Amino acid sequence: MSKLKIRRREQVMEKLSGYLPDGFEEMVAGLIFEYPVRFKIVRPRTSKLGDFRPPHREEKARITVNGNLNQYSFLITTLHEFAHYHTFLEYGNRVKAHGEEWKMAYRKLLLPLIESEVIPEGIKNALENSLIRTKASSCSDIPLMRELKKYDQQRDGLVFLEEIPKNSVFLLNGRQFLKGELRRKRYLCHEITTKKQYLVHALSEVRLNEKE
């Protein structure tokens, strides 16, 4: 490896150190440099934690990960997206996005986390359960998501939707809702102003409306 490539790799590892658990910088940098992929840390998106885009014409494949994730969520999301890339390299667009081929690639990338002494036991246990029945994302895996959220930066006054009683009025993204029945992993909630119904994730962080 040339001195320039070594220096570039060191710079990438230095930048990644602010986003990853100690000791995983080399692993992720290795993935970035092993494949012709553009890896970018981006501003938070409410609709997704990460994203994979296959190569288009002469452009490289692209992976983006939200920069506001805690270190464990950032690592797992990164591996999730690289599993998409590995699946694309082997199968192209001939398989389902979160089919068995992707699940196999994802499991292989997760194994170093299971064996690591750095990853908290709660997350490791949740990951081991995920390996048995891999979910499409950490957001689809309630036990894993619950463990990961323990390491988010705490914001005063916010609670998980699942923690408040039914028929409570809460605020989410500046809008008022009434909590309803649980539908699998989401609650059927009624927006008070528009009377419309929305399915809200059980682990959404909301604020109780103390005026009600």
The conformation of residue 150, written as its DSSP 8-state character, comes to T
How would you classify residue 174: left for phi > 0, otherwise alpha for psi between -120 and 50, otherwise beta? left
Please tell me whether residues 142 and 63 are part of one structural domain: yes
Is 66 among the domain residues? Answer: yes
Residue 154, in any domain of the structure: no
14 and 79, same domain (yes or no): yes
Position 94 scores a pLDDT of: 93
Query: Of 115, 28, 143, which Cα lies nearest the Cα of 79?
Result: 28
Instruction: Say whether both 94 and 32 belong to one domain.
Output: yes
pLDDT confidence of residue 57 = 81
Structure tokens at 195: 């009377």
Q: What is the CATH number of the domain that holds 175?
A: 2.30.30
Count of domains for the chain: 2
Q: 194 and 92 in one domain?
A: no
CB contact at 8 A, 56 and 6: no
Q: Are residues 67 and 115 in the same domain?
A: yes
Q: Is residue 95 part of a domain?
A: yes
Q: Is residue 145 situated within a structural domain?
A: yes
Tell me, yes or no, whether 80 lies in a domain: yes
Strand bridging mode 37-42 / 61-66? parallel
| Residue 185 confidence (pLDDT) | 82
Query: Tens of pLDDT along the chain (212 residues)?
Result: 678 888 888 999 999 999 999 999 999 999 999 988 999 999 988 778 999 999 988 789 999 999 999 999 999 999 999 999 999 999 999 999 888 999 999 999 999 999 999 999 999 999 988 777 665 555 567 888 889 988 988 777 888 899 899 999 999 988 999 999 999 889 999 999 999 999 998 888 899 986 65
Kindly state whether residue 38 falls inside one of the protein's structural domains.
yes
Point out the domain boundary residue: 128, 149, 170.
149
Both 69 and 43 in a single domain?
yes
70 and 174 housed in the same domain:
no
Domain that holds residue 203: 159-208
Taking alpha carbons only, the member of 197, 199, 195, 167 closest to residue 183 is 199
pLDDT score of 4? 82
Among 149, 167, 193, give the residue marking a domain's end: 149
Both 81 and 134 in one domain: the answer is yes
- Predicted pLDDT at 47: 79
User: 133 and 164: one domain?
Assistant: no
Q: From the CB of residue 107, how many other CB atoms can be counted at a distance below 10 Å?
A: 16
Structure tokens at 26: 């080399």
> Same structural domain for residues 57 and 98?
yes
- Phi, psi torsion values for 182, nearest 5 degrees: -80, 130
The answer to whether residue 21 sits within a structural domain is: yes
